[in-house]
Amino acid sequence: MPELPEVETIRRDLAPELEGRRITAVRIHHDDIIIDALPGAEFRRRLEGRHILAVDRRAKWLLLRLDLGILVTQLRMTGRFAVGRGAVPPLAGFRHVAAEFDLDDGRTLFYDDVRRLGGFLLLSEPEWALEESRFGPEPLDSGFRAADLGQALRRGRAPVKNALMDQSRVAGVGNIYASEALHRARIDPTRPVSDLTDEEVRRLHRSLRRILRSSLDSSGTTFRDYRAVNGRSGSFQTLLEVYGRDGEPCTNCGQVILRIVQAGRSTYYCPGCQR
């Protein structure tokens, strides 16, 4: 699933294409991508004619701020966007187009989703404010200090890997960057958050921000399904140190990287240098 760097990459790709444009027509090919179960006709009626004021992101959600309401996109596993001209999407790989949004400059925004686990929510400002209040702080915000991470994480006794992925504690971090940040901070992912020292929280804060920024510089991680806009791949997968590398030697200490399962998700870590 795309995490903060991937959704932010998509946001940066889409913003110059969409900001200031008006949505002239909407075609929904599969109603199940409308997450709030608004009937397709009603969803279309509310969107057609709207201006796109800004393309934003919060956590792993992409937001189109409209002159009336906010269109929230959750990309989940296989959601992708392309922008192009004409009735067919600009990419041969787009074989499962679920929605099309015509723009006032003659181009179309295509949303493709093979598995259709992702989709859209059309919210009013108050509805969005309620959703938004459930997220923890953004880890790349300039005001996000080590003390803020400590405060967000050190509640209860959850394993630190699970706590990092909890969107109500810190927004936008998922399986890949939780594993990578803990490896770079040399912290065992199974450690209870209540046991982390101030020094460990500072290390984790530094490595988390570094890794998210570095991935953003590489347009994200294309491990399986993720693509930026118009099929562009990320390249951070070549810089991963533990994620998906079980059985390989640790780049730091040479011990074999292990895969364990935490809360139903794979965690990759080095038992040699993560304590």
Q: Which residues are catalytic?
A: 2-3, 60, 265
* Helices of type H across 133-272: 146-153, 160-165, 175-184, 198-217
Span near Zn ion by CB under 5 A; candidates 132-140, 207-215, 238-246, 249-257: 249-257
Judged by beta carbon, residue 95 or residue 275, the one nearer Zn ion is 275
In the bound complex, what is the minimum distance in angstroms from residue 72's beta carbon to Zn ion? 39
Count of residues that bind Zn ion according to CB under 5 A: 6
In the bound complex, what is the minimum distance in angstroms from residue 245's beta carbon to Zn ion? 11
Judged by beta carbon, residue 179 or residue 222, the one nearer Zn ion is 179
Q: Which of 111, 124, 147 is nearest to 26 (CA)?
A: 111
Count other C-beta atoms under 10 Å from residue 42's C-beta.
11
Judged by beta carbon, residue 51 or residue 206, the one nearer Zn ion is 206
Torsion-angle region of 37 (φ positive above 0: left; ψ -120 to 50: alpha; else: beta): left
Residues 6 or more apart whose Cβ sits within 8 Å of residue 76? 1, 113, 115, 117, 118, 119
Tell me if 11 sits within 8 A of 57, measured CB to CB.
yes
182 counts as binding Zn ion under rule CB under 5 A: no
41: tokens are 């006709």
Task: Determine which residue in the list 98, 121, 204, 250 makes contact with Zn ion, applying CB under 5 A.
Answer: 250
270 counts as binding Zn ion under rule CB under 5 A: yes
258 counts as binding Zn ion under rule CB under 5 A: no
- For residues 28 and 44, give the distance between their C-alpha atoms in angstroms, rounded to a whole number: 8
Span near Zn ion by CB under 5 A; candidates 64-72, 82-90, 220-228, 243-251: 243-251
Tell me if 56 sits within 8 A of 50, measured CB to CB.
no
Judged by beta carbon, residue 99 or residue 270, the one nearer Zn ion is 270
Task: Return the exposure string of 136-174: e unless at least 16 CB atoms fall within 10 Å of the residue's CB, then b.
Answer: bbbbbeeebebebbbebbbeeebbbbbbbbbbebbbbbb
Task: Determine which residue in the list 147, 239, 253, 256 makes contact with Zn ion, applying CB under 5 A.
Answer: 253
147 counts as binding Zn ion under rule CB under 5 A: no
- For residues 250 and 227, give the distance between their C-alpha atoms in angstroms, rounded to a whole number: 28
271 counts as binding Zn ion under rule CB under 5 A: no
273 counts as binding Zn ion under rule CB under 5 A: yes
In the bound complex, what is the minimum distance in angstroms from residue 124's beta carbon to Zn ion? 49
252 counts as binding Zn ion under rule CB under 5 A: yes
Residues that bind Zn ion (CB under 5 A): 250, 252-253, 270, 272-273
